[in-house]
């Protein structure tokens, strides 16, 4: 099997190393904007790779350029671990070239001032009731075209989205007749020693955290102000942490696919220093995506900020501590109440020892590779556009353990109020 990976950042690095060393792929091509980064990764890992490795330069915003690379290589699947801005062009190219598509994050428009995008956005905010800049509508709208082409598009196979939804499908399949509530808890107990840094792409991360929060109750979106709802939780392997309710993309698909669910929420932990810095940057306009004139040239404040912040790919060497990401379920089994927690604990230093990355890249890159593998080998291959909870979770759960993300099922956990 041949895998084409697009992007060569923090998440891609882990997915590429795992794919190359798995013995499942005969060859892996890395195509990204800056080919030199792809070449140095190949140099670094070629000694331990079981797959033939090659590189290419590609502009993932240009369908023709993508087709040039895809047709030249002929992969069984394309794994998009570039940025959410490029999801639609890469999907378009996969349709044109007749190849399966896999990604880790739903489409976001880079230019939120674009009038055509704005009009569609305002309409969706009115109709659906959540103001996040990203949603699944653009990718779900391609469902029929993928069906007709006999191709599979697997969306959002990172940890959350991704494994969080596989945990939901697993709980539904093995533990519940009816799931009533889902709380997805994402805890990063890692310390990198910087006053402020983001652990994946700063632009995507800061846009997500500084936006309004939201959750789903009885089929309706309820919005909160940014970071308005705060709880404390005692995480296995990490300890007590403050966590905040955020909008998160998998809420949208879980609300459709987990029948009868009454409430779905997403919480992420943040330290006090992170929030103080983020609020300050927001207040002075540094999180803006709208270009400004500066000394005769145009700059986008959040892109300039990204250039100043530590590259998330370099945090691995300095990060200590663990992550704990999972889902707490309440519901019914055989007429009785049941509560369950499925989670993974991952150690930053162990990840660094194994692949030279911190645990956030690891917990995203491993599931990205697993999703690509299951699509490429036909285990998770249906024509159309799908989210992770729409497939049989069992093979995915097995591969999580095999590739370094073992999970725990705990009955009667402490619930979040």
Is 289 a binding residue for ligand NDP by CB under 6 A? The answer is no
DSSP summary character for residue 131: -
Using DSSP's 3-state secondary structure scheme, residue 218 falls into coil
Nearer to ligand NDP, 82 or 185 (CB): 82
Q: How many helices (H) and strands (E) does the chain have?
A: 15, 18
| Residues contacting residue 284 through CB under 8 Å, at least 6 positions apart | none
Is 59 a binding residue for ligand NDP by CB under 6 A? The answer is yes
The residue length of the chain stands at: 417
Task: List binders of ligand NDP among 77-136 (CB under 6 A).
Answer: 81-84, 86, 104-105
Angle (deg, nearest 10), helices 359-376 and 163-174:
60
Is 302 a binding residue for ligand NDP by CB under 6 A? The answer is no
Peptide bond into 161 cis (omega under 30): yes
Q: Which of 75, 213, 301, 312 binds ligand NDP (CB under 6 A)?
A: 312
Task: Provide the minimum distance between the beta carbon of 10 and ligand NDP in the complex, in angstroms, as a whole number.
Answer: 4
Is 200 a binding residue for ligand NDP by CB under 6 A? The answer is yes
Is 9 a binding residue for ligand NDP by CB under 6 A? The answer is yes
Q: Which of 101, 109, 161, 343 binds ligand NDP (CB under 6 A)?
A: 161
**Distance between CA atoms of residues 54 and 378, nearest Å:** 24
Q: Which of 4, 5, 28, 33 binds ligand NDP (CB under 6 A)?
A: 33
Nearer to ligand NDP, 14 or 179 (CB): 14
Is the CB of residue 58 less than 8 Å from the CB of residue 65?
yes
Q: Taking phi first (over 0 means left), then psi (-120 to 50 degrees means alpha), and beta for anything else, what does residue 92 get?
A: alpha
Contact region for ligand NDP (CB under 6 A) — 6-14, 125-133, 224-232, 236-244? 6-14
Is 14 a binding residue for ligand NDP by CB under 6 A? The answer is no
Q: Which of 22, 49, 139, 201 binds ligand NDP (CB under 6 A)?
A: 201
Is the CB of residue 146 less than 8 Å from the CB of residue 95?
yes
312's enclosing H/E stretch is none
Is the CB of residue 416 less than 8 Å from the CB of residue 183?
yes
Strand partners, 386: 154
Contact region for ligand NDP (CB under 6 A) — 47-55, 199-207, 378-386, 392-400? 199-207
Contact region for ligand NDP (CB under 6 A) — 75-83, 93-101, 293-301, 341-349? 75-83
Applying CB under 6 A, which residues contact ligand NDP? 7-12, 32-34, 37, 58-61, 81-84, 86, 104-105, 156, 158-162, 200-201, 204, 312-313, 364
């Amino acid at each position: 099997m041949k895998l084409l990976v697009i992007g060569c950042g923090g998440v891609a690095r882990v997915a590429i190393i795992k794919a190359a060393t798995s013995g499942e792929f005969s060859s892996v091509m890395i195509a990204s904007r800056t080919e030199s980064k792809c070449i140095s990764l190949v140099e670094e890992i070629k000694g331990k790779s079981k797959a033939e490795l090659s590189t290419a330069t590609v502009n993932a915003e240009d369908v023709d350029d993508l087709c040039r690379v895809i047709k030249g290589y002929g992969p069984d699947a394309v794994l998009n671990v570039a940025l959410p801005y490029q999801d639609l062009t890469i999907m378009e190219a996969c349709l044109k070239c007749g190849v399966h598509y896999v990604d880790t994050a739903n489409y976001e428009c880079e230019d939120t001032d674009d009038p055509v995008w704005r009009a569609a956005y305002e309409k969706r905010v009115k109709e659906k009731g959540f103001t996040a800049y990203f949603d699944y509508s653009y990718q779900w709208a391609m469902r029929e075209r993928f069906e007709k082409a006999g191709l599979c598009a697997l969306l959002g196979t990172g940890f959350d989205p991704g494994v969080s939804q596989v945990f939901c499908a697993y709980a539904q399949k093995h533990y519940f007749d009816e799931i009533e509530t889902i709380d997805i808890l994402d805890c990063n107990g890692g310390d990198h020693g910087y006053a402020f840094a983001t652990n994946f792409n700063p632009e995507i991360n800061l846009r997500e955290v500084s936006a309004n929060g939201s959750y789903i109750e009885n089929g309706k979106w309820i919005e909160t102000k940014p970071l308005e709802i705060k709880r404390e939780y005692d995480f296995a392997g990490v300890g007590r942490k403050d966590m905040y309710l955020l909008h998160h993309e998998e809420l949208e698909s879980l609300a459709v696919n987990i029948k009868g669910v009454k409430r779905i929420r997403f919480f992420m932990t943040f330290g006090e220093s992170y929030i103080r810095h983020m609020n300050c940057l927001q207040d002075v306009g540094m999180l803006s995506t709208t270009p400004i004139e500066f000394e005769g040239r145009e700059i986008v404040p959040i892109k300039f900020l990204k250039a100043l912040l530590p590259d998330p790919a370099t945090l691995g060497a300095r990060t200590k501590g663990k992550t704990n990401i999972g889902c707490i379920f309440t519901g019914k089994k055989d007429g009785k109440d049941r509560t369950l927690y499925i989670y993974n604990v991952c150690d930053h230093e162990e990840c660094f020892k194994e692949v030279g990355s911190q645990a956030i890249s690891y917990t995203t890159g491993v599931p990205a590779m697993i999703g690509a593998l299951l699509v490429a080998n036909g285990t998770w291959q249906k024509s159309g556009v799908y989210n992770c909870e729409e497939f049989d979770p069992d093979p995915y759960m097995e591969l999580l353990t095999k590739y370094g993300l073992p999970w725990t099922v705990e009955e009667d956990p402490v619930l979040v109020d």
